[in-house]
Amino acid sequence: MTNAEHIEAVAEKVQTRLGGEVRRVPALAGELAYEVEPQALLTVCAALRDAPELRFEMLMDLAGVDYLEFRMDEWETHAATRTGFSRARLAGEELVPPAPVGGARFAVAYQLLSITHNERLRLRARCHDDAEPVVDSVTEVWASANWFEREAFDLYGILFRGHPDLRRILTDYGFVGHPFRKDFPLIGNVEVRYDPEKRRVVYQPVSIEPRVLVPKVIREDNRYNPALRDEAAQRS
């Protein structure tokens, strides 16, 4: 059985067990991804964990996602690299609608592993309220979700209903905002320094100037023109 056939076999099991409760979404070759509505999240997660033919016993990772102006706020350029921060749409290229479907800004992605069957699956749940994004906590399904959900709360401001101890885990107690949100200022909101008179760390307004990321654009350069390079080689 090829890898593609194996993926389709797992997809058939998921479809048979969960039916209309999940929707398959595009994924890279060799990967399987589904989207679930928030109200069905706990039911679907429990089924993925407990169904004998699925047995996704382990939550490997959980991450927040911010789709603010997803591929809608790119710079137009003649040519540009398409990886990392330098990704840009070409002039005239059709804009891709924000994902996930429905226009929700925030989502939570769950990376699942079946130790029993040696299979992986990605599950994504949307947060319908952009102003106060919230989904149910899955800590009762997978205990490993505890710190992962705290991290998503800290960095994205996503709330997890029913979490036993939802508080920041990476930033400081007095940190303002959620640093992984796309509209979070690059220079932050406050800065800290050690005050020798008070003999402690103090917060103060940001003193550095705002920065703007410059896209990595590939410009035409005659130095790399094959014809000119070959001509120079012939002269030498």
Q: Give per-residue pLDDT as tens, 160-185.
A: 999 999 999 999 877 889 999 998 98
Q: Decide if 32 is inside a domain.
A: yes
CA dist 18 and 42 (Å) reads 12
Residue 13's φ and ψ, nearest 5 degrees, are: -65, -45
Tokens of 67: 């789709």
Contacts of 136 (CB under 8 A, 6+ apart): 38, 41, 42, 160, 161, 162
Q: Decide if 140 is inside a domain.
A: yes
Structural domain boundaries enclosing 20 = 3-67+104-178
pLDDT of residue 90: 45
pLDDT of residue 103: 67
pLDDT of residue 84: 43
Domain count, the chain: 1
Q: Are 10 and 24 in contact (CB under 8 A)?
A: no
Query: How far apart are the two ends of the chain, measured CA to CA in Å?
Result: 56
Q: Decide if 22 is inside a domain.
A: yes
Q: Decide if 155 is inside a domain.
A: yes
CATH value at residue 160: 3.30.460.80
Tokens of 53: 């033919």
- 45-70, pLDDT tens digit by residue? 999 999 999 999 999 999 999 988 77
The Cα-based distances of 2 to 5, 7, 55, 112, 117 in angstroms read 5, 9, 21, 21, 16
pLDDT of residue 91: 46
pLDDT of residue 124: 96
Mean pLDDT of the chain: 83
**Closest C-alpha to 102, from 122, 127, 80, 134:** 127
Q: Are 68 and 39 in contact (CB under 8 A)?
A: no
Q: Decide if 164 is inside a domain.
A: yes
According to DSSP, the residues that pair with 203 across neighbouring strands are 192
Q: Decide if 201 is inside a domain.
A: no
**How many other β-carbons are positioned within 10 Å of the β-carbon of residue 110?**
26
Q: Decide if 54 is inside a domain.
A: yes
List of the chain residues with pLDDT < 50? 82-91, 95-98, 101
